[in-house]
Homo-oligomer: A and B are copies of this chain.
Amino acid sequence: MKQKLSILKIGGNVIEDDQSLSHLLQLFSKIEGHKILVHGGGKKATEIGNTLGIEAKMINGRRITNAESLDVAIMVYAGLVNKKIVAQLQAFDCNAIGMSGADGNAILAHKRPVKEVDFGFVGDVESIHSINISNLIKANFTPVFCALTHDGNGQLFNTNADTIAAELAIGMSSEFETTLYYCFEKKGVLQSIEDEDSVIQHINLKKYEALLANGTIADGMLPKMHNCFHALQHNVKKVCIGDSNMLLKENSNFTTLTL
């Protein structure tokens, strides 16, 4: 029987508030069994970029990563945010080890092909080096991934943290029974965005298609849900979406996705 592995992705809103982050890291540290944390960068990268006089370049509303803004991403994601999370997890007796996709050759990517837009140093995930990650996990380390990948030739890339979490979950599922947790500011996928308590507790593929068709899943939830079902269709056992209280054992008020 495969061993269980929990992969938790935390986003900007949680990271930006010290108290929320600390609360969440404490809950994460208590998850039993093997686990991996994946984090985004939050607004800190934009803030520091602005102070350094590096403007976030946008084309058609999409963010472009040039060499300078990649440096800022590396400093903030792999430096400031990652190391503070690692140091805090160590304080909660969780043997965290901070990683980018280059560390341990964990996540190989290639530059996103130029179609209408050249996104710059943005990487699309090519493969997960699951054996290396598995070696870390089995040696009782808890990998903490920031949203950076590499091409194996010395180039780092900016990569969406939701995508990294999904690809890690898929890659690790050959060896582990994997549950993917997406932690964000809402209690789950909502029936009505005006009602914070209208959490849809269970969504399977059929219901997902219905929710897509009637427009309940829209905007920012579209790529997130796409990542979830992509993961489920590639051997990930279960995906959960909710706020940090999703990690409390007594709480079941979040969204669980299965095929």
Contacts from A to B (Cβ < 8 Å): 48, 51-53, 71, 74-80, 82-84, 86-88, 90-91, 95-100, 102-105, 132, 135-136, 139-141, 148, 150, 152-156
Contacts and interface: CB of A to CB of B under 8 A. Distances in A.
Nearest to A156: B87
Contact of A91 (B74, B82, B103, B153): B153
A91 B108 CA distance: 12
Contacts of A51: 51-53
Contacts of A83: 74, 78, 100, 102-103, 148, 156
Contacts of A153: 91
A97 B96 CA distance: 13
Given A52-B52, A76-B79, A82-B78, A87 B102 contact: yes
A99 B100 contact: no
A105 B95 contact: yes
A152 B91 contact: yes
A146 to B, nearest CB: 9
Given A78-B83, A136-B136, 16 more contacts: A48-B52, A48-B75, A74-B80, A75-B80, A78-B79, A83-B102, A86-B102, A90-B102, A91-B152, A91-B154, A95-B104, A96-B102, A96-B103, A98-B99, A104-B141, A139-B139
